[in-house]
Chains A and B, each alone.
Chain A
Amino acid sequence: MTKPWFNALLLLLPSWALAHDPIFGLGPHVLYKGGVELAAEWHGEPDSNESGLEITYGMTGDWALGAEIPLDGGDAGDSDLFSKYRFWRSDSLGVQKSAAWLLRYDGDRRTPAWVHGLAWGYESRRYYGWASIRYRLPQENGQDLKPGDAWRLDLVTGIRPWLTDYLEPDTVFMLELNGEGSQRARLEGTTLARSGGRRWFLSPGIFWTLRNFAIKAGVQIPLSQRMNDPSLELDYRARLTLEWHY
């Protein structure tokens, strides 16, 4: 059964994760001043997948700007623009705690939207912890269909089992609890009963790096799904990201 596009896309809030940020959730990481980060991302579900390229620039040590360009099923007009500002940071020996505010314009022509996000993170040599919330506000798109507002909530923990030196390969394992939901869509002023809903996932993942190159991979396993259209229920979601900064 084919999913209505507005339903299938509703809950796919882009992750825009930098560096040691979670794979599906958000973290407060930004990029060093003058740094450039390139990322190729693949995102898959049982009957669909999408990929994109992301470029990020470090405006300051606490503020990064970027864009994401879809590689399939879209064109440059569907690109996203984003800003992430780390407004709080507390450093001690081998530990960084920080918080950041995110603003993203999701340029998808069918469902343009603003996404606001807030992320907190704890990062140490051994353990990681993150919490984040995002809210997606769809914009008027000149069509009669208006998707509902959507939210995401993420709680994540991580561990680095082997403490390696600076130039050695580094591995961090993550476990995420991801919740997401959306209100029903409206068509010509009428609420669509078979749209919107809520889902929760448990998501194991891995973050592997070598100096300035990273591979991130994870899979979302549904814990609970209460979708108003049962055909939207998922068996899994997966994400793979290759990242390089210089």
Chain B
Amino acid sequence: MKPLHSILTALFLLAATSILQAEDTLRWELRVDGLACPYCAYGVEKKLKAIDGVRQVSVDLEKGIVHVEALPQTEITASRMETLMRDAGFTFRSMKQLP
């Protein structure tokens, strides 16, 4: 019985940690113009992932949207995103934090 209890406790702690980690990130939505092809959009992903604290990046080419998931202390500001998108070869338009 004791080993089963230990396994269940470990699983519970693992699940709780995962939930806490998931809740611990903030999500952003960036409007970026010029995103026509996936091969070229790789530069956006690479630039964003180079920022400390950024956990996840995804690109919606049809909508011109870049989704960013980052730790709360990560500096995701409009001016930083503007510079970053220019360095990646695209034009930053706007951003908003998702609930």
Contact = CB atoms under 8 A, between A and B. Distances in A.
Contacts of B94: none
Nearest to B89: A61
A166 B87 contact: no
Interface residues of A, number: 38
Interface in B22-51: 33-44, 46-47
B35 to A, nearest CB: 6
Contacts, number: 92
* B interface bracket (residues with beta carbon within 8 Å of A): 20 to 34
A80 to B, nearest CB: 23
Contacts of B43: 31-32, 35
B89 A20 contact: no
Given A32-B46, A35-B43, A94-B61, A167 B88 contact: no
B61 A91 contact: no
B40 A94 contact: no
A124 interface: yes
Given A245-B42, A246-B46, A61 B88 contact: yes
B62 A170 contact: no
Contact of B33 (A31, A91, A211): A91
Given A32-B46, A163-B62, A125 B36 contact: yes
A168 B46 contact: no
A212 B39 contact: yes
Nearest to A170: B38
B41 to A, nearest CB: 6
B60 interface: yes
Interface of B: 33-44, 46-47, 58-64, 86-91
18 contacts: A20-B36, A20-B39, A32-B88, A86-B89, A89-B91, A91-B33, A93-B63, A95-B33, A96-B36, A123-B37, A124-B36, A125-B36, A125-B61, A160-B37, A167-B38, A172-B37, A212-B39, A246-B46
